[in-house]
Amino acid sequence: MRPEIKTEIMALCCGYVKPEDIKQLFDIPYYQQTYHIKANGLERWQSQYSRRRSEWHERFRKEEAYEKEHRIALVKELLKREDGKSNNT
């Protein structure tokens, strides 16, 4: 396989496909994977995976906090309306 093709494979896969899988699926040994990653300034799988997971957790925490506050506000509004109805009767 031409080096250019290996570089392209690594550029497409190194962020989402584990090195073991690249080796098994595309027959690119670890030392060649490392070479193509370093030579082309690519980020290794583990680094990209960790960053994505951290970003996902942060988005999840923010979404959970928003939903919590939103639902509390909805309940408070419901109770306020209910209190207004009972005061009118």
Mean pLDDT of 28-56: 95
DSSP string across 35-59: HHHHHTTPPPHHHHHHHHHHHHHHH
In the chain, the number of structural domains is 2
8 and 39 co-located in one domain:
yes
36 and 74 co-located in one domain:
no
31 and 14 co-located in one domain:
yes
**CA distances from residue 62 to 53, 57, 66, 78, 84 in whole angstroms, order as listed:** 14, 9, 6, 24, 33
pLDDT given at position 83: 87
Residue-range definition of the domain harbouring residue 59: 47-89
Give per-residue pLDDT as tens, 43-81. Answer: 999 999 999 999 999 999 999 999 999 999 999 999 999
pLDDT given at position 40: 94
- Confidence label for 89 from pLDDT (cuts 50, 70 and 90): low
34 and 61 co-located in one domain:
no
**CA distances from residue 25 to 59, 75, 76 in whole angstroms, order as listed:** 33, 53, 56
